[in-house]
A and B are shown apart, each in its own frame.
Chain A
Amino acid sequence: MIRFVSTLAATALLATTAQAATEITWWHAMGGKLGETVNSIVGEFNESQNACQLNATYKGGYEETMTAGIAAFRAKQAPNIIQIFDAGSATIISAKGAVTPVADLMTENGVAFDKEDYIPGVRTFYADSDGKMIGMPFNSSTPVMYYNKAALAEAGVEPPKTWEEFEIAAPKLAEKGYIALSQSHGPWIWSENFMSRHNLPMSDRNNGFDGPATKIGYNNEDLRMHFHKLKEWKDKGWYGHYGAKWDDNKVPFEKKEVAMWIGSSGSFGGLKDTTDFAFGTAGLPYWKSIVPGEPLHTFIGGAALFTFAGHEKAQNECVAQFFTHLTKPETQYFWHKETGYVPVTKAAYDLAKTDGYYDREPDAEVGILQLSEASAEWNKGYRLGFYPQIREVLYREYDKIFNGDVTVEEAFNTIEEESNELLARFAKTTGM
């Protein structure tokens, strides 16, 4: 908080002294502790030079931020930089002419830019089908599992690597009075990353990278099997479903009712503040029966920064400068340490390693290690239209599965039908 206030003061001071500075705006979705960290990075950038003045504004959650950006663009009042989440990537990347690709922005403004500097999963997710990077990866995260060390020790179990191991550990935790597992994001954890971790196609047309997809891949035997298991686990008291909200599923873990919680690698920093017990971090479990060989990496989640087109050249220069500042190993390392989001460049990852950060905090490396696991055909990313609405369909049907309103088969038939309708609708809006 002191840092935040001093940053504000410094920003105010700078604004009065450097009147000639070019002002640029950044709309983001980072609230709470994350927002404070964003503010200190912005403050640092503004202090480091006199030519540019960056104003960062918190716009609410990911959906709200994207909505605000769309409305502003239509009213010709778009900010320079906007943070768009993974599910919205098709929406923004298919908007030809609305956004300047980050690769072009950097080279046009004489800043060296090499996509090979970025870690592989990050490089592909926000790129177009030719591999050109459109968005600047910012807060990159992936689902990981946090576990209550004392609870697992009490039950005499190790954190499970696979769901097969989970089925052995869960009854032992139940015996000690714990619900073994909860998770905070059904679509992201139980759907998108189920597909990436098990190398299953999300949709036709190369997960949507080769053009607007029309068929969703969710209604498959493996995912249905997983949901049959989840329902069975819930009925046995091994799995807790506390509705669709992120925090409602996290709080039972913080209250020591649930022994293991799957959240984001970016939850690490916040969780340290809200728990009063020792917790560890482990990778997202997978079914050995589906992936018998070495584990596969998950999708990179989180969000990226996009630059709206149609601004003055001086402003674009400032944006390029800020991106340079943001991707500096020192800034990335600071962001990684404060929040738990993974470093997006190889140099930053190396810096964290040479600094001995992972010797001190081995948990902090789990996310990036998981993202560095084997690549396969279907875990590079996905690009699906109206995907935020498809996520709503998933949330809705998963609620219904767990409260027993529909069977797993019925739910997945509905998901397939409604998702395909949404995909077809989106394909029409892009005129392809």
Chain B
Amino acid sequence: MKRNQFGHSPLPYLLIAPQLLIILIFFVWPAVQSVRLSFFLEDPWGLSRSFVGFDNYTSVLSNSQYHSTALFTLFFSAVVTVLALGVALLLAVKADGIIRGAKTYRVLLIWAYAVAPAVAGMIGLFLANQHIGPLFPLFNLLWDFDNKTDSADATFWLTLVCVWKQVSVNFVYFLAGLQGIPRSVREAAALDCQSGFRRFWTVTFPLLAPTGFFLMVINITYAFFDTFPIIDTLTRGRPGGSTFTLVYKVYKDGFLGADLGGSSAQSVILMVVVMLLTIVQFRFIERKIHY
């Protein structure tokens, strides 16, 4: 078999080297370390260490608190993703239709993106504070709201703050996606179909699907990992351990509890779960999307 050989220049390798180096240092190396640590039990100071095989995994997986944390994480991530995408899409569609003052609306909708997650958590903390928070009495007009002691209220409020923080990012992408749909397609659709609602679902939405899919992947990752600073400032997993996500538990057990082996086992499990989730997304959902 004859193959065409081209003279390769080393330039491309040189250009991707910095990126590869970053991945190696900040992802591959720590990942290998945590896989290794997950098979050991060691004291907090690293003075002694003993190989325990899969003990760390079995003790994590048999812990009932870990099960409820896993369930909460799934529920929380699903709700945050659906709401953050849904609200952003609605806002983007509405903002896209506006002609006068469009820029002002956009800026107003986007600027929450500039708020750091920890700051968003603090804002949430103050807004719902029993003594100084304006939202506390407002919620209490509707029901007996107490996010410090009631698990459901704490979950509700945490979800709302996390969604609020993410909506602006999604909005930017959706708006860009909408503006990327050719005018001619829209006009043709408008001639064929009177119902704006139907036009949206049959024409606009499929054309937005690539953006939507990308955002779904991003949002699930956000709900799994990047909500950490909001949880840490707003609830710290309380009340009654009801707002613990898997990644927050890794931090609590590993850093505050000084149990590196157990925490590494948890992070390896988490890594596998997210990898599976991403594979599922790309294999089954991406197929239905036409670029």
Contact = CB atoms under 8 A, between A and B. Distances in A.
Interface of A: 63-64, 66-67, 70, 73-74, 91, 94-98, 241-245, 248, 251, 255, 386, 388-389, 392, 395-397, 399-400, 402-403, 405, 418, 421, 425, 428-431
A51 to B, nearest CB: 30
A255 B149 CA distance: 19
Nearest to A421: B59
A237 to B, nearest CB: 15
B65 A418 contact: yes
8 contacts: A73-B45, A74-B45, A91-B44, A95-B43, A389-B253, A400-B240, A403-B151, A425-B262
Nearest to B257: A389
B42 interface: yes
B148 A248 contact: yes
Q: Which 4 A-B pairs have the closest CB atoms?
A: A243-B148, A399-B240, A396-B241, A399-B239
B258 A392 contact: no
A361 B113 CA distance: 52
A67 B255 contact: yes
Contacts of A403: 149-151, 239-240
B252 interface: yes
A91 B258 contact: yes
Chain A interface, DSSP helix/strand/loop, else mixed: helix
A74 B255 CA distance: 13
Contacts of A431: 48, 50
Interface in B210-265: 236, 238-241, 252-253, 255-259, 262
A305 to B, nearest CB: 17
A63 B256 contact: yes
B131 interface: yes
A429 B260 CA distance: 11
Interface of B: 41-48, 50, 52, 59, 63, 65, 130-131, 148-151, 236, 238-241, 252-253, 255-259, 262
Contacts of A402: 149
B48 A244 contact: no
Contacts of B131: 251, 255
Contacts of B240: 396-397, 399-400, 403, 405
A388 B259 contact: no
A386 B256 CA distance: 10
Nearest to A400: B240
Given A242-B130, A243-B148, A425 B259 contact: yes
A74 B48 CA distance: 12
**Which of B151, B258, B259 counts the most chain A CB atoms within 10 A?**
B258
A388 B257 contact: yes
Contacts of B255: 67
